[in-house]
Amino acid sequence: MARVVFPDHLLSVTGGVREVEVAAANVRDLLLALEAQFPGSEETLAKSAIAIDGQIHQDAYLEPIGSNSEIFFMLRLEGG
Amino acid sequence: MGSFAYVAPKTVRETTEKLAELSGAGTPTQIMAGGTDVLVQLRTVNRAARTLVDIKGLAETNRLDIGADETYIGAAIPSAVLNENNDLKTLFPGLTEAADLIGSTQIQGRASIGGNLCNSSPAGDSIPALIANGAVCVIAGPGGERELAVEDFVTGVGQNALAADELLLGLKLPNPGPRTGDAYLRFIPRTEMDIAVAGCGVRLDLDEAGVCTSARVGIGAVAPTALLVPAAAEALIGTKVDDAALAAAGAACSEAASPITDKRGTVEYRTKVISVLCRRAGAIARDRAAK
Amino acid sequence: MSKLHVTTSINGDPVEFLTAPEQTLVDVLREQLDLTGTKEGCSTGDCGACSVLVDGRLVCACLVLAAEAEGAEITTIEGIATADGLHPIQEKFLEHAALQCGICTPGYIVATKALLEKHPEPDEETIRYWLAGNLCRCTGYDKIVRAVQDAATTLAHEA
Amino acid sequence: MAEAKDFKFIGSRPVRPDGVDKVTGRAQFGADLNLPNMLYGRVLRSPHAHARIKRVDVSAALAMPGVYAAISGADFPGAKHGDIGGEGGGDVADVAKNVMARDKVLYHGHAVAAVAATSASLAEAALEAIEVEYDVLTPVLDLDAAMAADAPLVNENCFTKNLPEPAEKPSNIAAVMNLARGDVDEGFEQADVIVEGEYRIPMVHQGYIEPHACTATVNEAGQATVWTCTQGHFSLRSQTASVLDMGIADLKFIASEIGGGFGGKTVIYLEPLAVLLSKQSQRPVKMVMSREEVFRASGPAAGTHCRIRLGAKKDGTITAATAWLAYEAGAFEGAPMGPGAMCVFAPYDLENFRIEGFDVLVNKPKVAAYRAPGAPQAAHAMESALDELARELSMDPIDLRLVNAAQEGTQAAYGPKFPAIGLKECLEAAKVHPNYAKPVPEGAGRGVAVGFWFNAGMESSAEVHLNEDGTVQIIEGNPDIGGSRASMALMAAETLGVPYENIRVLVGDTEASGFSAVTGGSRTTFATGMAVIQACEDVIAQCKARAAATWGVDEDQVAWEDGQAVPVPGVNAELKPLSLADIMKNAARTGGPILGRASLNARGAGAGFSVNFGDLKVDDETGKVDVLSYTAVQDAGKAIHPAYVEGQMQGGAVQGLGWALNEEYVFDADGVLENPGFLDYRIPVASDMPMIDTQIIEVPNPSHPYGVRGVGETPLCAPLAVAANAVRDATGVRVTDLPLSPPKVLAALEGA
């Protein structure tokens, strides 16, 4: 089960839940699982950046997720 | 809206007649030499159409004449040219330094002391140095020439004593004595390219014993016009221009100043810094005189 | 508003053009003569991107009326390289990566040419104060100064 | 993983392939295009910082001779909500209303109408004929005042986002953000020493020397071609399509050379106006901003108000840290408080921290990115506080940072664990750097600070074509601001094994190259470089197949070494190796032209750390600060073209020093910018600066074939605090606000 952590500004879509454990093979499955647990969350979470074991991804979808990966949802990053 | 025109007369007579004709017809007119102030204002603060009268073509505005006891500097000579004249730099280091501080190398390729003076900005770099050196303005009009002390030339922010049909031909400066020194310092936040937050020109004469026998102190950017500060001169005369005398002269400058707060500096800051500049410029002038 | 007819010389070629009295030299160079190598960053003489030589004197083309070009010798960036190749200043700017975006480079090259003609072996301070009127926001000036120093040494050897 | 092998081309300093045109004046920048029949466009800008628009009437202007088009907000399709796409930042409706005001003008200089005429002076005259009726409102200019509950509202329908409970009342606070970990109160309990600081920085500008400029031409079929100086023509195309409700296929964007951007040219300002004016007049329209317009109405960097509190043990270990970071957004939400909040503590391994970020509307231009957007302001606060902490503990400032430095495996303040990063290596290198050993000159002080930026990946495309003689043409979609064409050619030379001189690089327009995100986010060499490398690998695969066909062997019996197809050991040894030229000579018979391509969303952008230190002198009679020496140490992962990596470090340092010493937006009480020009908006000039010494550290980024990390933005983060800490060291007085202008420093000296 991967450990998934939500930052403060996303707590509004997870009903205040900061951390969950989710089994998912990739980001697509993770988002579907989270949508089931937190209806309506997919739209916002899909637009967030997501860090999987330290690697930050802006538009993750098919990235693999390990059985004990550490997942952080983050603000989408821009540059200048 | 009227339209722009550009004329480049070849003689003083042609110029004064043109100025009289234009002012008679009520046509807005602007004399230009290097144009580095005129064209900036044309693009920003004052876009009104006018006739530009370019005086760079006249012999009198380009003449540089170092005489036995007096030097004539044509109003239109670019400061870059002045700073290539070693005799002039030896005689008037402070004044040529001031001219050398006006803007970048590119600006100095065009900007003239006459233009700087006629623009009559409170912060014009050459003006305090001209005042310190006791410069006299040579003005030509339809009726002929007249002379005016430079400290009386600037009459207000951006205003001067020229009538609509007059032009500044040049400046006459008394040559320095054997033990005369002049210096000009200004304060700017960077090392180049800024308008002076405060500026101070000092010229003084020493006797053999190193006692100051005469002095003139001009300050800029700390009042609507550059000012001659007699009190500062008195603080130096009769002294060896030591730290105490310089401090007194500096205090006199702060006293004489009536600065404003704007995007370049505050009242308090300008009042303090003008005394620092006076002290430092006075020391340089003293060391140059003692040499 | 009648235009003035101006006869001048640009990079050694005779040129004639019509100009409005208040039009500036940079305007005519770029919009009428298609000499767009001279750049415009501010139009108030503060950035130096429009540096050109007028009768050998380094000036900002935005603060010179086109009408004042009458009978003058104008040199722009397009006149620096010759048939036998780049000028050493241009080569050294490339060699030292003394440009990144390149908008200030034409002004810098013309200004450096004027500098080295007046001061064949300038020290760092002379270079920096001479070029203080040429703003650059990308390089932090370091490599520009080194390129100018190297060009000076090269030109001194060739002279 | 890029083993530390020695490279053949990478790491060398060749002349850039596009260099000759840039030193001869041939290179075409935004304003350099003149088309036949072309009109000149000018914009009417609001004289008020905050007003309701009651009426705009352009008819009188349109009727003037020589005027062929005139538009105002009414000419734009209804702005719809939704993400603008690309990096424009924020909501389509906001970007659309920033391009041209609709019901309200929200900053002095906000575009209200525009005309196109046969000459610039005619267009200027036409602006005066446009009638606009305003209902002037009170402007909100001060960041703190804007946050007050009863402040006048910039936008009546702005409700603070991300609050625990949905906001009931509108506010100028567009969004809040919190990041926290551990127990901060407990942490402060354990601390032997606590320091606090409050820091204010005014709005500043990127200061690019080329004003925004574009030319648009729309044909009778409604298809538009737009030449523009931009960091990302694909992004500007999609923003323009959204704002004008046009199909992307009807918009061709051509990137001219760009005269500097630093994040400020990732947003549309003139492009939609030029397209509409050209559509209305059926003639090409050229629009060039004056320098005054660039300052008043492009995208400056956010002014900030930050508070930092740090608790630490005697040995320097930070036990607790809090940051309160308020950022000006300008007229529309979107201040970079998110990245700022994520960066403020990022370089450090902290157990207990709390970060609060605020995105605050004020009646000033809509802010845009400026090189690591949001990070320099946050780093100034944190690194200033750390300097005070080091003094309290009488520790060397580098040692204090070493004690707390993040490294591989550290849980970053913004969430995930760090992969391989180079902060410790930079700190160690700085500590033993000869300049750090030199004594601080008389009357001067030394400041130290750390810089950090995430660096971005995002999407890139590249094609590599082989010419008939085996020379190489790269086509990619990233405008070249800092020498990136040279880096692409070096990475291609290394991958293909062919000389750098044989390679040309084209920055293709939106019809010629595949989609690429902006040149920004320090991503170009990393992400577009990765696409170029993969496209080269595609070419190599095809060449090996052609060689196999030529030799009559299987493809897996062919290897690629030093730019040639060679038989693998054991296969017929007399086969002569085939170079690109050999393969291309025979290409028609073995399958036709060879063209490699790659498109990707680059993963694994490596974080970029820097350590800077500098000696600055203060004239205690005038408060003037002079920079005596400056040293920048930065981890580039792998420096592809070291001269251009040094250039980013030197340019960023001088921009940072300008920000610290002299640069600021000075507004009057009515919200009018008083210094919209290079005379009084003082960026550093050549004579202000010493040489900027650089040292490149190379801790390879495992996710890039050659170990590349982005280097473009980190350089701006440390210099602000280096200057502040050096002035503190020199004078004994901590000036917390920027800029460290002479009046402010003198007042602080006299106050002490």
Q: What is the DSSP string of D520-576?
A: -TT-IIIIIHHHHHHHHHHHHHHHHHHHHHHHTS-GGGEEEETTEEEEPTTS-TTPP
Would residue A80 count as lying in a domain? no
Same structural domain, D420 and D521: no
Strands D304-312 and D318-330: antiparallel
In a mutagenesis test of the B interface, which of C2, C68, C124 is the best target, namely the one with the most B β-carbons within 10 Å? Answer: C68
Instruction: State the pLDDT at residue B272.
Output: 96
Instruction: Give dist(CA D670, CA D686) in Å, integer.
Output: 34
pLDDT digits (tens, 9 = 90+) for D103-153: 999 999 999 999 999 999 999 999 999 999 999 999 999 999 999 999 999
Same domain, D620 and D745: yes
Whether residue A27 lies inside any domain: the answer is yes
Point out the domain boundary residue: D586, D602, D618: D602
Asked if pLDDT for residue D82 goes beyond 90, the answer is no
Confidence (pLDDT) at A79: 65
d(Cα D277, Cα D271) in Å, to the nearest integer? Answer: 10
CA angle D712, D713, D718 (to 5 degrees): 125
On average, the pLDDT of chain B sits at 95
Max CA distance (Å), chain A: 37
Q: With a cut of 50, which residues of chain A have pLDDT below it?
A: none
Letter for the amino acid at D374? G
Preferred mutation among B260, B263, B274, B278 to probe D, highest tally of D CBs within 10 A: B263
CATH code assigned at A10: 3.10.20.30
Q: Which two tokens stand for residue B6?
A: 């550009």
Tokens of A40: 């309506």
Residue C141 CA to residue D60 CA, distance in Å, equals 49
Decide if D604 and A74 are in contact by the 8 Å CB cutoff.
no
pLDDT for residue D86: 46
pLDDT tens figures, B31-89: 999 999 999 999 888 889 999 999 999 999 999 999 999 999 999 999 999 999 999 99
D174 occurs within a structural domain: no
Q: Are residues D520 and D619 in the same domain?
A: no
pLDDT per residue of chain C (159 residues) written in tens, 0 to 9:
689 999 999 999 999 999 999 999 999 999 999 999 999 999 999 999 999 999 999 999 999 999 999 999 999 999 999 999 999 999 999 999 999 999 999 999 999 999 999 999 999 999 999 999 999 999 999 999 999 999 999 999 887
Which residues are within 8 A (CB) of A58 and not within 5 positions of it... i.e. 6 or more apart? A49, A76, A77, D456, D457, D458, D601
Shared domain for D596 and D683, answered yes or no, is no
D148-162 average pLDDT score: 94
Residue carrying the six token digits 């974080």: D607
* 3-class state of residue D372 by DSSP: coil
Q: Both D567 and D433 in a single domain?
A: no
CATH number at D473 reads 3.30.365.10
Q: In the structure, what pLDDT confidence band is assigned to residue B169 with cuts at 50, 70 and 90? A: very high
Strand order in the sheet with D51-57: D104-105, D51-57, D131-136
Fold classification of B59-174 is 3.30.465
Give the pair of three-digit tokens for residue C138.
Answer: 């990308």
User: Across the strands, what pairs with D633?
Assistant: D611, D695
Burial class of residue D545 in the structure, from the number of CB atoms within 10 Å of its CB (0-12 exposed, 13-18 middle, 19+ buried): middle
Q: What pLDDT does A55 receive?
A: 85
* Model confidence band, residue D83 (pLDDT cutoffs 50, 70, 90): low
Q: Is the peptide bond before D739 cis (omega within 30 degrees of 0)?
A: yes
Nearest to D23 among C36, C90, C139 (CB): C90
CB of D453 closer than 8 Å to CB of D343: yes
Distance from C-alpha of B130 to C-alpha of B117, rounded to nearest angstrom? 9
Q: Is residue D278 part of a domain?
A: no
Distance (Å) of CA C93 to CA C129, C148, C150, D358: 18, 8, 9, 44
Q: Which residues pair with D626 in a beta bridge?
A: D617
Q: Are residues D566 and D656 in the same domain?
A: no
Q: Which of D242, D238, D237 is nearest to D253 (CA)?
A: D237
Q: How would you classify the pairing of strands D472-476 and D564-567?
A: unpaired
Domain termination residue (choose one: D602, D634, D669): D602
Measured CA to CA, the distance from residue D349 to residue D359 in angstroms comes to 26
Give me the pLDDT at residue D570, please: 87
pLDDT at A58: 83
- At residue D1 the predicted structure's pLDDT band, cuts being 50, 70 and 90, is very low
Please give the average per-residue pLDDT across D494-500, as a whole number.
Answer: 98
Distance CA D346, CA D324 (A): 15
pTM assigned to the model = 0.96
CB D729 within 8 A of CB D449: no
What is the pLDDT at residue D81?
63
Q: Which residue has the tokens 């997501």?
A: A50
CA proximity to D544, closest of D501, D505, D575, D504 = D575
Predicted confidence (pLDDT) per residue in D560-596, tens digit: 999 999 999 988 888 999 999 999 999 999 999 999 9
Domain-located, residue D494: yes
Is pLDDT above 80 for B1? no
Nearest to C101 among D258, D677, D684 (CB): D258
**Pairing between strand B159-160 and B154-156?**
antiparallel
D690, D587: one domain: no
In terms of domains, do D466 and D583 share one? yes
Range of the domain at D660: 374-455+606-751
Q: Which helix (H) or strand (E) covers residue D39, if one does?
A: strand D39-45
Size of interface B-D (CB pairs under 8 A): 54
DSSP string, B188-228: -SSSSS---SEEEEEEEEE-TTS-EEEEEEEEESSSSS-EE
Tally of domains within chain A? 1
Q: Does the residue D511 lie in any domain?
A: yes
| Residues D544 and D475 grouped into a single domain | yes
**Cβ-contact B216, B136 below 8 angstroms:** no
Across the interface, do B269 and D743 touch by the CB < 8 Å criterion? Answer: yes
pLDDT on residue D571: 85
CB D650 within 8 A of CB C139: yes
CA distance B125 to B97: 9
The verdict on D652 touching C (C-beta cutoff 8 Å) is: yes
Does chain B reach chain D with at least 3 CB pairs under 8 Å?
yes
CATH of B182-290, one of 2.40.50.140, 1.10.230.10, 3.30.390.50, 3.30.70.340: 3.30.390.50
**Which among B3, B36, B193 has CB closest to C63?**
B36
Does B272 sit within 8 Å of D688, measured CB to CB? no
Count of domains in chain D? 2
Is the pLDDT at D91 greater than 50? The verdict is yes
Taking the CA of residue C48 as centre, how many other CA atoms within 13 Å lie in the half-sphere pointing to its CB? Answer: 28
Q: What residues of A are in contact with residue D89 (Cβ under 8 Å)?
A: 78
- Give the residue from D602, D636, D670 where a domain finishes: D602
Rounded-to-integer distance, Cα C95 and Cα D630, Å: 23
User: How would you label B14-31 residue by residue, b for 16+ Cβ within 10 Å and e otherwise?
Assistant: ebbebbbebbeeeeebbb
User: Distance (Å) from the C-alpha of residue C131 to the closest C-alpha of chain B?
Assistant: 7
D39-45 and C13-19: which strand pairing? Answer: unpaired
Laid out side by side, the sheet with D564-567 consists of: D558-561, D564-567, D578-579
Q: How close B44 comes to chain D (CA, Å)?
A: 9
Per CB-CB distance under 8 Å, the chain D contacts of C101 are 208-210, 257-261, 481-482
CB pairs under 8 A between A and D: 95
CB D384 within 8 Å of CB D725: yes
Q: Is B178's pLDDT higher than 90?
A: yes
Q: For tokens 């003035």, name the residue.
A: C4
Q: Angle at which helices D92-99 and D271-281 pack, to 10 degrees?
A: 60
- D85 pLDDT exceeds 60? no
pLDDT mean over D80-96 = 69
The CA distances from residue D463 to D485, D511, D697, in Å, are: 14, 13, 31
Q: If you average pLDDT over residues D148-172, what whole number do you get? A: 93
User: Distance between CA atoms of D742 and D752, rounded to whole angstroms?
Assistant: 15
Best to test chain B binding among C5, C62, C63, C73 (most B CBs inside 10 Å) = C63
Q: Which domain holds residue A23?
A: 2-74
Q: Are B190 and D662 in contact (CB under 8 A)?
A: yes
Angle between helices B93-101 and B267-290 (to 10 degrees): 140
Among chain C residues, the shortest Cα distance to B6 is held by C21
Residues D488 and D540 in one domain: yes
For residues B107 and B126, give the distance between their C-alpha atoms in angstroms, rounded to a whole number.
14
CB D265 within 8 A of CB D294: no
Instruction: For B245-291, write each residue's pLDDT tens digit.
Output: 999 999 999 999 999 999 889 999 999 999 999 999 999 999 999 98
Whole-number Å distance between alpha carbons of B40 and C22: 12
D2: confidence class by pLDDT, cuts 50, 70, 90: very low
Mean pLDDT of D309-323: 98
- List the domains of chain C with CATH numbers: 4-79 (3.10.20.30), 88-158 (1.10.150.120)
> Cβ distance D230 to D211 under 8 Å?
no
Number of neighbours of residue D275 by Cβ within 10 angstroms: 26
Residue D555 maps to a domain: yes
- Going by DSSP bridges, is the β-strand pair B51-54/B64-66 parallel, antiparallel, or unpaired? unpaired
Do D449 and D421 share a domain, yes or no? yes
Q: Give one word for D162, left, alpha or beta, with left for phi > 0 and alpha for psi -120 to 50.
A: left
Q: Which two tokens stand for residue D511?
A: 């019809």
